[in-house]
Amino acid sequence: MLSALLLIACGEENKNTNECESAEITVESAEDTERATEEADESSPETPHETVIPEVTEAFTEQENVWTEPDYPEIITTSGGVVIVGKVVRDSLGWTLSLDSPLHIVLQDNENEREFTQLTKIGMPESSVDGIDKSVYLGATVTVEGVLSYNGYDGVNLSVYSIRMGRNTKMSHNDPDVKKPERIAPDGETVIIPEKMKTVIEDGKYKYNPYKLSNEALTELGGGFAAFYVDFIDAYINYEGACECPDIEYAKILSTVLFFEGAVFEADGIYDFITDYDPYEKRINIRYKKSREEHDALIEDMFEKMDGFLSGIDPEAGEKDRAKSAYHALCPAVKYDYDALERLDMNNPYYAFTQNRGVCITFANAYLQLLTQVEVANSQVSGLMVNGEAHAWSFVTIDGLNYYCDPTFETSRGEGRGFVFFGMNVQKRTKDGTGTRGVNIGRYYPKMSDLVEFAPESLQ
């Protein structure tokens, strides 16, 4: 998932209409991006359904059901690219792919060749590092595409590009053509923001808009996805059983977008690409955990709580003050949930808004969703702390300058009522050892932080 991170800072707001809403967002070409880098089951809508994800036994293909797969060797010789079948587990070392049968891997790295025999498990990065929520697949057999690398000790790590539920290949094998998903938005596209996606202000206060997407999403995913997303959220709120989906790439990335930006869907929505996307009818089936009456009550509760978080933010204030008000709307209201960290659940921003608890990725993205509602450009950051643990925090653009904010750290001091971890430049962020290794910025197509220019001074 690599591409340039293009965040568009919005100007000062008018009373009821933000200039950024009427602005056209233009997607840079791949050549421009390279130059910049070089320089730096459809169901009855009245019936509740629990999540049931069947085991996939056949390889998926968009055009036809029959696929004759080549015979793969028992020994995998690769320069990195692989397709691996295994079960997602969580142990003391983090996320692991437990292999269904031992693998013999020959890893070719430049002039070196390392051989690993009888491998029974392969390590995977934390979800906050690669943006792929592995908790969804915990305990399930999956097919993973990605790139292997030597872990520096006695095994290999797998950088995950995509995860598909079930066994979608006869056996694990090398794939030299495996690559990270490309940016969906066409080069040079001018994105016109859909009417339903514009900021809502009533009686001088922000009102929660469930259709709203970040400028990052609009830039990276494009106008076609934006129009589809409005239709999907409409269908979900109205408890419909399906939604048209004109592009398979929209279906593939939808669950990721819903996690990062569509907290309302977590109320009772179920979506899985393998189970719920119909490539022949080009539609997405939407399943629900609750009845229609329960669904409506959850949606109403979500709207009320979001309006409460937004109520103290002045639409006529500048970007800095709007960002600070959103920060203080969230930080004092939430508490770190250590049980959720152990259970590997409730990490969606929805739980910060409705239950006032979560973990770092919950708070980082809850803050970002508030910033999106009040027209402050933003994105997610992930990296390693000094103790080697993965951590997620927030990236904001205020008056054209880029900063870090860490709502999780803020909640641990003074009941979250300070600005110790708000508006940090790189030097302040790294002072305590946080954000010094493996730092990536971006929800959908992350890139290394050293390719992004930050403000010379922290905000006061």
For 364-433, what is the HEC assignment? HHHHHHHHHHCCCCEEEEEEECCCCCEEEEEEEEECCEEEEECHHHHHCCHHHCCCCCCCECHHHHHCCC
The span from the CA of 148 to the CA of 174, in Å, is 10
Domain CATH number, residue 133: 2.40.50
Mean pLDDT, range 204-209, rounded to an integer: 98
297 and 414: one domain? yes
Asked if residue 66 belongs to a domain, the reply is no
> Per the domain annotation, does 168 fall within a domain?
yes
Is residue 7 one of the residues assigned to a domain?
A: no
> Do 151 and 233 fall within a single domain?
no
* pLDDT over threshold 60, residue 24: no
Q: Considering only residues 10 and 378, tell me which one the structure prediction assigns the higher pLDDT.
A: 378
More confident site: 176 or 295:
295
Same domain assignment for residues 240 and 170? no
Mean pLDDT in residue range 186-192: 82
The answer to whether residues 371 and 222 belong to one domain is: yes
The pLDDT assigned to 78 comes to: 87
Residues 151 and 254 in one domain: no
Q: How confident is the model at residue 36 (pLDDT cuts 50, 70, 90)?
A: very low
Count of the separate structural domains present in the chain = 2
Q: What is the pLDDT of residues 360-375, one digit of tens each?
A: 999 999 999 999 999 9
Mean pLDDT of 175-183: 77
Of 147, 174, 201, which one is at a domain's C-terminal end?
Answer: 174
Residues 338, 306, single domain; the answer is yes
Look at residue 329 and tell me if it is in a domain.
yes
CA angle 143, 145, 150 (to 5 degrees): 115
Q: Return all residues near 52 (Cβ < 8 A) that are at least 6 apart.
A: none
Region 150-159 average pLDDT: 78
Bigger pLDDT: 423 or 148? 423
Kindly report the number of other CB atoms within 10 A of residue 32's CB atom.
14
Residue 7 pLDDT level (bands cut at 50, 70, 90): very low
pLDDT for 55 beyond 80: no
Q: How many angstroms separate the CA atoms of 138 and 142, rounded?
A: 10
Co-location of 165 and 199 in the same domain: no
How many residues are listed for the chain in this entry? 460
What is the C-alpha separation between 72 and 70, in angstroms, rounded?
A: 6
- pLDDT for position 132: 73
| Within-domain flag for 326 | yes
Q: Is residue 51 predicted with pLDDT exceeding 50?
A: no
- Higher-scoring residue by pLDDT: 273, 226: 226
What is residue 6's predicted lDDT score, i.e. its pLDDT?
31
Higher pLDDT, 137 or 268: 268
Question: What contacts 24+ positions apart, CB below 8 Å, involve 10-15?
Answer: 10/215, 10/319, 10/375, 10/376, 10/377, 12/318, 12/319, 13/315, 13/316, 13/375, 15/201, 15/204, 15/315, 15/316
* Lowest-pLDDT range of 63-77, 103-117, 262-276: 63-77
Would you say residue 14 lies in a domain? no
Decide if pLDDT at 428 tops 90.
Answer: yes
44 is a domain residue: no
Indicate if 287 and 412 belong to the same structural domain: yes
The rounded distance, in Å, linking the Cα atoms of 356 and 77 is: 48
Confidence of residue 26 (pLDDT cuts 50, 70, 90): low
Which ranges in 238-318 belong to alpha helices (H)?
248-261, 273-276, 292-310
> Taking 60 as the threshold, does the pLDDT of residue 38 lie above it?
no
Q: What is the dihedral of CA 446, 450, 452, 458, to 10 degrees?
A: 120
Q: Tell whether 244 and 307 lie within a shared domain.
A: yes
Residue 127 counted as domain residue: yes
Higher-confidence position of 154 and 325: 325
157 in the same domain as 250: no
**Phi/psi at 115 (nearest 5 deg)?**
-115, 130
Q: Which residue has the higher pLDDT, 139 or 83?
A: 83
Q: Are residues 159 and 281 in the same domain?
A: no
- Residue 12, SS3 per DSSP: coil
Q: By percentage, how much of the chain surpasses pLDDT 90?
A: 48
Could you list the residue range(s) of the whole structural domain that residue 247 is in? 19-32+191-451
- Are 416 and 332 spatial neighbours (Cβ–Cβ below 8 Å)? yes
Mean pLDDT (whole number) for 429-439: 76
Same domain as 151, residue 196: no
Look at residue 109 and give its three-state secondary structure: strand
174, 202, 232: which is the final residue of a domain?
174
pLDDT of residue 218: 95
Angle in degrees, CA 97, 100, 105, rounded to 5: 75
Residue 191's closest CA among 371, 34, 14, 8? Answer: 8
The answer to whether residue 64 scores a pLDDT higher than 50 is no
**Mean confidence (pLDDT) of the chain:** 82
Q: What pLDDT was estimated at residue 439?
A: 82
Q: Which is more confident, 44 or 242?
A: 242
- The pLDDT, as a whole number, for residue 188 is 78
| pLDDT score, position 414 | 84
Q: Quick: pLDDT tens for 110-127.
A: 667 888 888 889 999 877
Q: Which of 109, 139, 174 is the last residue of a domain?
A: 174
The pLDDT, as a whole number, for residue 17 is 42
